Amino acid sequence: MLFRVTALSTSGRVRLNLEATHAENAGDEARRQGYTVLSVAPAKGWKLGRTTQRYHFPLTLFARELLALLGSGLSLVEALQTLAEKESRAETRKLLELVLGHIYEGESLSAAIERYPASFPPLFVASVRASEKTSNLAEALVRFVAYQEQLEVLRKKIVAASIYPVLLLLIGGLVALFLLGWVVPRFAAIYEGNLERLPFASRLLMEWGELFQQHAGLIGMLALAVIFGLVQSLRQPRTRAAISRRIWRLPGIGENLRVFQLTRFYRTVGMLLSGGIPMVSALTMAEGLLHPELRVRLAAAAREIREGKPTSQAMEGAGLTTPVALRMLRVGERSGRMGEMMESAAAFHDEELARSVDWFTRLIEPLLMVFIGLTIGVIVVLLYMPIFELAGSLE
């Protein structure tokens, strides 16, 4: 994996591109070369005509396997040694060996994995750190695996619901492009010299056919340039943020997106609270799951909670609750089971979101079919309209 290292040398600040398994290895390599390392980050962009692939550590699988080994009676060190020995991927094996090395030096598991934030996110580190206070790592792993599985179920529902509409758009778009790029130019050649006799709409379509026939290469290059420009623009954080703001303002869709983000937020905070993390710390760890606007509200709510205001009131005032979640938060405050209540609120809204996705899919599929059918039908009718008129004039 390629890392970009920002460092200081005798001549000033420099940037190095170094190949390494992990960020820490890249930093060590730069230090061996005599540099003072300032920062290390995965390099992005194009290299030799392809994108740099980022190593992805299978965290959920790691948690499951570690849980199984601990449940069989192995110690933590023995379990990690076993996972490292059986691992076939060099990157994963190297990472586990590095974690083991830090544990041999006397560090806790949470401190060891915290050194590798690209593979072990703060949420997992916090869960492990909380379990070390109660010496119950297995319970923390169970909660984390269950949390990941619930998120995966919701993600699969959304992906499955979007496959058919995307296929409809793709196939319909390809058919329309075939008609406009291959069929229409050939009809334009048939009507060449008689365009003024055609109906206005048919004439516009044939003029497009003539234009495409004469400048097909240029039009293709312009289309590729536009697509490339759109892709590059969408990769910019500012563009994505602007699109996100507009989507959030759409009636119906914006509210569902808000509930979706709050659902993930409730589930994450609930898991952290159940693991022994204090409320304010749990809110801070989970803030990255929220839209920037909701993140600002969360900061205000966390400040009020720190000052002694009840969690339900602070989150309600910040607009971070739904009617169901607010009621469950109040129950959690009275019973002392805040983590359990937040997870229950997330489970309730998961079902609600699943129904919304199903309803949206049932609505959008026929609408897309009608739209695509009308688009293709209009093109075909405009192509054959002059022939129909000619046949009528011969009667």
Q: Decide if pLDDT at 340 tops 70.
A: yes
pLDDT bracket for residue 46 (50, 70, 90):
very low
Supply the pLDDT for residue 8. 67
**Number of domains into which the chain is organized:** 3
pLDDT bracket for residue 330 (50, 70, 90):
very high
More confident site: 142 or 158: 142
pLDDT digits (tens, 9 = 90+) for 209-255: 777 777 778 888 888 898 888 888 877 777 777 777 787 777 777 77
The average pLDDT across 369-375 equals 87
Residues 371 and 288 in one domain: yes
Which of 81-95, 190-204, 252-266 has the weakest average pLDDT? 190-204
Which of 57-61, 68-72, 274-278 has the weakest average pLDDT? 274-278
Domain that holds residue 132: 59-148
Supply the pLDDT for residue 19. 65
Q: Decide if pLDDT at 361 tops 80.
A: no
Alpha-carbon torsion angle 292, 297, 303, 306, nearest 10: -100
Q: Decide if pLDDT at 369 tops 60.
A: yes
Supply the pLDDT for residue 176. 82
Residues 143 and 154 in one domain: no
Supply the pLDDT for residue 127. 79
pLDDT bracket for residue 10 (50, 70, 90):
low
Supply the pLDDT for residue 49. 38
Residues 251 and 154 in one domain: yes
Q: Decide if pLDDT at 52 tops 70.
A: no
The average pLDDT across 175-193 equals 78
Supply the pLDDT for residue 6. 79
CATH number, domain of 93, equals: 1.20.81.30
More confident site: 350 or 68: 68
Residues 72 and 6 in one domain: no
Q: State which of 92, 127, 148 marks the end of a domain.
A: 148
Residues 380 and 330 in one domain: yes
Which of 28-32, 219-223, 319-323, 386-390 has the weakest average pLDDT? 386-390
Supply the pLDDT for residue 47. 43
Residues 65 and 130 in one domain: yes
